Chains A and B, each alone.
Chain A
């Protein structure tokens, strides 16, 4: 096990690095970065290439595989001609609706747990929030699916929106943040005769920008990436979301490689553009699910 240990030593946990070590760190960074970026570069290049040239420089491999060989927008034009735009706008609208409605529902619950003492608080928190947080929703999809079909919601918008609105992780995040708001601010407003609802909307929420961004990002990305549930309850083309559209295209258009890749890149660009500027908020959201409390 000499290998990993020398590697770990070269990472120099504290202290000054020799020039040779710095060089090694850069070399490792570059190798790892290539592993993560190469598939995406190839996919972007191929999505701007004519279909028959997608594999031209991939096999045998040449660096030209990472640049469009004969730049064309044909793949993207064909995608939009066959309703990929519908899937994109469906997913976008769904994301916005879930962020707004889910934001209201989850922030209110977080507020109740953070700022009130009431009978059954512990029971509700452990018995409902914690339990639902631990049970993966995909494992309980069948009765939920039956419930949705009994409600006659199959292939309707509510099937895609309502079951995911309440989110235990987002409730956790709100609770954690609201606990830190100084009691004085709330007391002052209460003494002035403000109702709890107006305390919540006029005092608490305006102070909560960071957690609101974090929660919105988390809910939007969860919605954007959701696949299994929409596949079950809304397979109809008019309601398809972007991940289902991509998965189905693999079977339906299996030889239109440039279009498959173009669709994938369109599905990827939205979360990338959201995550890169807001990565601090996102990392805080996902790590606090495991590292705090």
Chain B
């Protein structure tokens, strides 16, 4: 009986742990292994090549171009999304009549997948006769080559990612705002704080944990963005939207160079782990 009951928790865990080990943890380690090998064309066997794959990507201008595009994209899209998400959450936190309807509308982009967003915005941003150019024409503004000019295409990806992303991150901020006790704000008002002081000295500091989480999660999510690039620009024009996730997909599955692709994925993995560790470090220092 006692031996039997000792085994119980392990039996409950077995299916999940086994599946995670095989399909999540093993592939993580194997990515590193793959990146240290080259695929032989004849036998399909792996040949150990050391750091050659890493050397190759570090000497590859297309890789560096995609790093640069990804960096510019991240520096633009993350602050834009986070600021807008915070403002949207503040707006959605207002108790006015009809707020439930507005909140439901703001939930729509969360429900709609990134591929659907890509189709709808892809057609709206059509350089010839898209809806956005239609609105510009109504305002007597010149037509814009949204997806066809290197100067515009990345901004178009930012635009559609922001439309889709802001409501999701706003949900986190809204949950954070609703977690701030009314009594704290009341007390501050009795002490004579004005609204601006309340926002700066109470609301923002109490949202710091949420802000940190959103910063990390949003950075990682945008780092992995691939659908709009895959469907609309294929990295172009002139590699201007060649985000690193798309570049790894192209190497691995279009050019069948799985080993170089694995090396790039491992570099990305290290970046993601650094971002997550940064979060853990800041949280620990605070707590």
- A→B interface (CB under 8 Å): 4-5, 7-9, 11-15, 22, 25-26, 28-29, 32-33, 35-37, 39-40, 42-43, 46, 54-55, 57-61, 65, 104-106, 108-109, 111-113, 116, 118, 121, 124, 128-129, 131-132, 134-144, 146-147, 162-166, 168, 171, 196, 200, 224-225, 227-228, 232, 243, 246-247, 250-251, 257, 260-261, 263-265, 267-268, 271-272, 274-276, 279, 283, 286-287, 290-291
Residue from A26, A61, A228, A246 in contact with B135 in the complex, judged by beta carbons closer than 8 Å: A61
The answer to whether A58 touches B134, judged by C-beta atoms less than 8 angstroms apart, is yes
Given contacts A40-B108, A225-B113, A291-B172, contact A25 B94 (CB under 8 A): yes
A202 to chain B, nearest CB (A): 15
The answer to whether A268 touches B105, judged by C-beta atoms less than 8 angstroms apart, is no
- Give 25 A-B contacts (CB < 8 Å), ordered by A residue: A8-B195, A9-B196, A14-B185, A14-B186, A36-B167, A37-B108, A57-B134, A58-B130, A104-B15, A118-B10, A131-B25, A134-B273, A139-B31, A139-B265, A143-B33, A147-B22, A147-B27, A196-B8, A232-B253, A246-B115, A250-B231, A286-B172, A287-B172, A290-B213, A291-B209
A44 to chain B, nearest CB (A): 10
Interface residue B126 (Cβ < 8 Å from any Cβ of A)? yes
Hey, what's the 0/1 contact readout for B1-31 against A, CB within 8 Å counting as 1?
A: 0000110111011011101111111111011
* Chain A hits for B126, CB < 8 A: 55
The answer to whether A109 touches B13, judged by C-beta atoms less than 8 angstroms apart, is yes
The answer to whether B112 touches A291, judged by C-beta atoms less than 8 angstroms apart, is no
The answer to whether B9 touches A116, judged by C-beta atoms less than 8 angstroms apart, is yes
The complex places the Cα of A287 from the Cα of B31 at a distance, in Å, of 30
The answer to whether A146 touches B91, judged by C-beta atoms less than 8 angstroms apart, is no
The complex places the Cα of A62 from the Cα of B147 at a distance, in Å, of 23
Using C-beta atoms within 8 Å of the partner chain, give the interface range for chain B. Answer: 35 or more
The answer to whether A166 touches B20, judged by C-beta atoms less than 8 angstroms apart, is yes
* Chain A hits for B227, CB < 8 A: 227-228, 243, 247
Nearest A-chain residue to B176, judged by Cβ: A291
Which of chain B's residues 153-188 have a Cβ closer than 8 Å to chain A?
Answer: 163, 167-168, 171-172, 175-176, 179, 182, 185-186
* Chain A hits for B210, CB < 8 A: 290-291
A103 to chain B, nearest CB (A): 11
Residue from A112, A140, A165, A279 in contact with B27 in the complex, judged by beta carbons closer than 8 Å: A140
Interface residue B57 (Cβ < 8 Å from any Cβ of A)? no
Dominant SS at the B interface? helix
Residue from B16, B108, B138, B220 in contact with A272 in the complex, judged by beta carbons closer than 8 Å: B108
The answer to whether A257 touches B123, judged by C-beta atoms less than 8 angstroms apart, is yes
* Chain B hits for A28, CB < 8 A: 91
Residue from B6, B91, B258, B262 in contact with A32 in the complex, judged by beta carbons closer than 8 Å: B91
Nearest B-chain residue to A14, judged by Cβ: B185
The complex places the Cα of A57 from the Cα of B111 at a distance, in Å, of 27
The complex places the Cα of A14 from the Cα of B198 at a distance, in Å, of 9
* Chain A hits for B93, CB < 8 A: 11
B171 to chain A, nearest CB (A): 6
The answer to whether A8 touches B90, judged by C-beta atoms less than 8 angstroms apart, is yes
Nearest A-chain residue to B204, judged by Cβ: A8
The complex places the Cα of A111 from the Cα of B12 at a distance, in Å, of 7
A136 to chain B, nearest CB (A): 6
* Chain B hits for A147, CB < 8 A: 22-23, 26-27, 30
Nearest A-chain residue to B143, judged by Cβ: A59
The answer to whether B131 touches A61, judged by C-beta atoms less than 8 angstroms apart, is yes
The answer to whether A116 touches B8, judged by C-beta atoms less than 8 angstroms apart, is yes
* Chain B hits for A106, CB < 8 A: 16
The answer to whether A171 touches B16, judged by C-beta atoms less than 8 angstroms apart, is yes
Residue from B115, B199, B249 in contact with A13 in the complex, judged by beta carbons closer than 8 Å: B199
* Chain B hits for A196, CB < 8 A: 5, 8, 12
The answer to whether B115 touches A227, judged by C-beta atoms less than 8 angstroms apart, is yes
* Chain A hits for B133, CB < 8 A: 59
The answer to whether B122 touches A267, judged by C-beta atoms less than 8 angstroms apart, is no
The complex places the Cα of A260 from the Cα of B122 at a distance, in Å, of 11
Given contacts A35-B163, A275-B107, contact A60 B214 (CB under 8 A): no
